[in-house]
Amino acid sequence: MKTLILLRHAKSGWDDGIARDFDRPLNGKGERAARTVGRRLREDGLTFDQVVASSAVRVRETLAQLWLGYGTTPDVTFDTGLYLATVDGLLDRVQQTEDSVDRLLLVGHNPGLEDLVLTLVPDHPDDRLRDDVEEKFPTASVAVLALAIDSWTAAKPGAGKLERFIRPRDLDPALGPDRG
């Protein structure tokens, strides 16, 4: 059994005059959301054998805040190939994971992460969690997938079960979408 945990970067700022999308930093709400989600992951006892993340600024800052809430700082492998990766690129990266890793945290961007969940988890009419992901995989959200496999190379479409979907707004309504 393998566990794949997917974390979308937290909310970033668009008004900083940053020339490249890659360099956009988190905004204040994003920082709070990442810390809040980190606390929930700690409270839920969720651990990671390996952390692989996009090297974009907003992902690095998301992890810095997440670890503040989580209470520890695991080693992270930053992979430029995860920046705006497609579902095929993400699945390839998952399949390259060493089999000694049982719990992989992959941190990146949409639409790739949402598409990966929807690819790995079969669509069943009574699967409310999957429906929530299909509706939207918001920033700083976490999807926890159980894969009934012994080797990451066996991670294929339909092989997963979505066990948890944690959205910042479910932990603190002030971290939900802005109403205006």
What does each C-alpha distance from 98 to 49, 154, 164 come to in angstroms? Answer: 10, 12, 24
**pLDDT for res 16:** 61
What are the phi and psi torsion angles at 163 (to 5°)?
A: -90, -35
What does each C-alpha distance from 51 to 8, 11, 72, 162 come to in angstroms? Answer: 13, 20, 13, 19
Mutual orientation of helices 87-95 and 112-120 as an angle, nearest 10°?
A: 70
- The pTM (predicted TM-score) of the whole model is 0.95
How confident is the model over 49-77, as pLDDT tens digits?
999 999 999 999 999 999 999 999 999 99
Which helix H or strand E contains 103, and what residues bound it? strand 103-108
Question: Please, which residues bridge with residue 52 across strands?
Answer: 77, 106
How confident is the model over 4-34, as pLDDT tens digits?
999 999 999 876 677 788 999 999 999 999 9
Nearest to 7 by CA among 174, 159, 168: 168
The domains found in the chain, sorted by start residue, are: 2-174 (3.40.50.1240)
